[in-house]
Structure formats: C-alpha cells, structure tokens
C-alpha cells in the first residue's frame, strides 16, 4: 500500500526518520556517518522536518510497568449528543488517561489508560467512565502487548 505524504519525503528523509524513531538522542554526526551524508545536510534536513511539523518533538520512552502502571485499559464510550467535547476534555484531564480518540462504529470515543492495579481500575471506571454525559462504557483489560510503537513502519513506505 502506497502512502500519500502531505510533504515530499525522499528516501533519505525516510531513513533519517527511521533512525530517529529508534533513538532520538543519536547525534547528527552519527546520523551523517550512518547515512553517508555531511553533518550539515543532516542538520538541515532535521530542521526542515521540524519546521514542516513532520517531527513534532522528542520524547523519552518510559516503561509503564516499571513505574507501577501494571494494567493497560481500553474503553469504548457512548457519549450523549452535544456532550462529546466537554466529556472528552474531562476524561483527558485524568493523569491515567494517555489517549482519547473520536471513532466510528459502536462507540463515540475510545480511551486508553494505564492503572496501577484492580482497585485503581475500579476507581477509574467509577469516576471517569461514569462522568455526566457518558451514557455507556465498555472496558477491556489488555492481557499482553504484542506490538506498540509510534509509526516507524510509515517512514518505510515509498
């Protein structure tokens, strides 16, 4: 499947993005050596990708389990008509919630969250997923994460 880009990315841009997606702390010098480019070329390309909004920032990848967040939760929410924005903003404010999506299908919104244990899940379910405006929720506990990464395969496509 060919992807359509909103800006032209050549093979060098895609290779650069792939390397940065694996280790955003890698030096421009090391990137230049790996790609066979001048360091200034790498710096200019990264700056252009940042300016164009392709690179939105650099983040650390944390291990939630090591930080005490042992369970990942996916919840489908049905939200009353006209309440979507308000309800999603309130849900987004909870520090356990790391993603809120508008979706098609049986649910109006999908929420991803991490909780410490079953008691924390119970609290999340009773306080966040029952906010005024949520007419129904369906919660799933993730048993095993098979794959979880932020789009590196997208930069591989021609």
pLDDT averaged per 10 residues, the chain (length 158): 62 92 94 98 97 91 91 98 97 97 97 97 96 97 88 56
Query: What confidence score (pLDDT) does residue 3 get?
Result: 47
136 DSSP β-pair partners: 78
The stretches of the chain forming alpha helices (DSSP H) are 11-22, 28-35, 39-51, 84-92, 118-127
The three-point CA angle 8-3-47 to 5° equals 35
Domains of the chain: 11-60 (1.10.10.10), 71-141 (3.30.70.920)
Cα end-to-end distance, the chain, whole Å: 9
C-alpha to C-alpha distance for 136 and 141, rounded to whole angstroms: 17
């Amino acid at each position: 499947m060919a992807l359509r880009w909103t800006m032209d990315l050549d093979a060098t841009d895609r290779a650069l993005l792939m390397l940065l997606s694996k280790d955003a702390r890698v030096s421009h010098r090391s990137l230049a050596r790996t790609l066979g480019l001048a360091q200034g070329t790498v710096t200019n390309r990264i700056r252009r990708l940042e300016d164009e909004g392709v690179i939105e920032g650099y983040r650390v990848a944390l291990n939630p389990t090591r930080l005490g967040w042992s369970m990942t939760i996916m919840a489908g929410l049905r939200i009353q008509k006209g309440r979507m924005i308000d309800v999603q903003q309130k849900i987004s404010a909870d520090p356990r919630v790391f993603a809120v999506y508008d979706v098609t299908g049986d649910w109006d919104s999908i929420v991803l969250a991490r909780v410490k244990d079953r008691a924390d899940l119970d609290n999340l379910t009773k306080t966040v997923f029952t906010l005024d405006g949520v007419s129904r929720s369906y919660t799933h506990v993730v048993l095993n994460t098979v794959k979880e990464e932020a789009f590196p395969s997208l930069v591989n496509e021609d």
